[in-house]
Chain A
Amino acid sequence: MIKIEKFSFKYKGTDKFALHDVNLDVPAGAFLGLSGVSGSGKTSLLYSCCGVIPHFYKGDFYGSVKLNGLDTVETPIAELSKIATIVFEDMDSAFSTDYPEDEIVFGLRNFGHTKSEAEEIAAGNMKEFGIEDLRGKQIRSLSGGQKRKTALAAAIAIKPKVLLLDEPTGELDPEAKVQVFEILRKLNAEGLTIIISERNENLLRKYCTSEYTVQNA
């Protein structure tokens, strides 16, 4: 599903490689956990897997990254977004709307669903993620766990083949962390390829089917 060969990347305006000589093969249906110390390049690797690097963050790009056979440098981001999506660490900035139901509808409408179709799917999706009671509540007023579930529901609604998550449990309490990982395990069992960066190695060991330690430069 994702094939990274001899990949190195240096952000524009920096001298140091954020990632150096990375080789990684992620098969379809994998649940890969990325571990590594702060600043090791976990986020950069996630960004590279879905084309955020180099489409949005410019720099020196060496080697190749292929997503479902598509070269991430040459393929437009609109095409890549049909295959992979990412849930950002900075959730508050990443939301595109003010309400959970709109957040789910937003992505669905972008992929060609009519408003009524999107609203129907969103209703089912919210029920599945146990967030139907959040309807009509402003996202900014939700707890960290509720925001995470909303972001996940919105990402999953567009049916990506690959889901990338950047430290999705950072500020959550232990119970909410487990809830998020349980949801991910269920999605993975349904065939979704997941790559997750997470500091808690115990969670990675418990839930992921494989692990990759990122060490930059």
Chain B
Amino acid sequence: MGGLGYFPGDSFLHRANPILKLFLAIILVTAIFAIPSLIAPAAVLAVTFLLAVSCNSGKWMLKIIRSMLKFSLVIFIIQTLFIQTGDTLIPLFWGLRITYQGVMFSLGFVLKLIASALPLALVLRVTKGIDLADALNETFKIPYKYAYAVASAMRFVPDFADEMKDIIEAQTARGVEHDTKGFVKKARLLAPICLPLLLSGVRKAEVAAISAEMRGVSNR
């Protein structure tokens, strides 16, 4: 089913004009922040999910939501603890408390965060990067080079994931225990991978840019 990025298909969303899809996604995201109610993000979430189902990507969207829930939970807890105004729901230690306002605000914040990410993720799911770059260039006169750079950024996500997997497997083969549930331990094991991964990413981006230049991307 893939992660972020294009997934082939022949649904009406796949065939729709890339600019129209982008425009609709922007309208949905704007609505989330413009309407001061929890109904807006909930409605956008529902509409986006139905659209995803219509192009055979319902399971993919649930997977994205599930992975977002993990860090949303951390944000929810921190946010709730920071808001100390309003009616107390649960008194905590050191004078801290969980308040009704804190819970409602944090819930809204997390819901908006998740709902606002999904429409754009769905656009990338049903639109080829090359088509999006063409459309941005032709409709908004964005220089093709930049439109292409923006549209093709997602292509590297699976490469990064593969490379990270390779490094983890290589380290596991040499006795490093990556199969741990401890968050701190996992973070400590992953930290040394970040630099080589970043350097490799820069090198890949450099080759991609030169390759595109040598096939005339500056001529457009």
A-side residues, CB < 8 A to B, are 50, 52, 55-56, 76-78, 81-82, 84-86, 88, 90, 92-99, 102, 105-107, 109-112, 115, 136, 140, 154-155, 158
Please measure, in the bound complex, the distance between the C-alpha atom of A182 and the C-alpha atom of B129, giving whole angstroms.
33
Within 8 Å of chain A (Cβ to Cβ): is B215?
Answer: yes
The answer to whether residues A93 and B208 also contact, given A56-B213, A81-B219, A98-B6 and a CB cut-off of 8 A, is yes
A-B interface contact total, Cβ < 8 Å = 95
Nearest-neighbour CB distance to chain B for A209, whole angstroms, equals 24
Contact B211 A105 (CB under 8 A): no
Nearest-neighbour CB distance to chain A for B29, whole angstroms, equals 25
Q: Which 5 A-B pairs have the closest CB atoms?
A: A110-B216, A94-B211, A78-B218, A93-B207, A107-B215
Most interface-central of B130, B148, B216 (chain A CB within 10 A): B216
Contact A107 B216 (CB under 8 A): yes
Contact A109 B134 (CB under 8 A): yes
Nearest-neighbour CB distance to chain B for A46, whole angstroms, equals 11
Contact A97 B217 (CB under 8 A): no
Binds A, one of B90-98, B111-119, B152-160: B152-160
B interface SS class = helix
Please measure, in the bound complex, the distance between the C-alpha atom of A106 and the C-alpha atom of B208, giving whole angstroms.
13
Q: What 0/1 readout, one digit per residue, does chain B (1-21) give for beta carbons within 8 Å of chain A?
A: 000011010000000000000
Select B212's contact among A84, A96, A115, beta carbons within 8 Å. A96
Most interface-central of B5, B8, B211, B213 (chain A CB within 10 A): B211
Select B128's contact among A97, A115, A155, beta carbons within 8 Å. A97
* 8 Å CB interface, B172-220 against A: 203-220
What are 10 inter-chain pairs, A to B, with CB distance below 8 A?
A81-B213, A81-B216, A81-B218, A88-B211, A94-B208, A95-B208, A95-B211, A96-B217, A97-B128, A97-B129
Instruction: List the B side residues contacting A155 at CB < 8 Å.
Output: 215
Nearest-neighbour CB distance to chain A for B182, whole angstroms, equals 33
Please measure, in the bound complex, the distance between the C-alpha atom of A92 and the C-alpha atom of B158, giving whole angstroms.
12
Instruction: List the B side residues contacting A140 at CB < 8 Å.
Output: 158-159
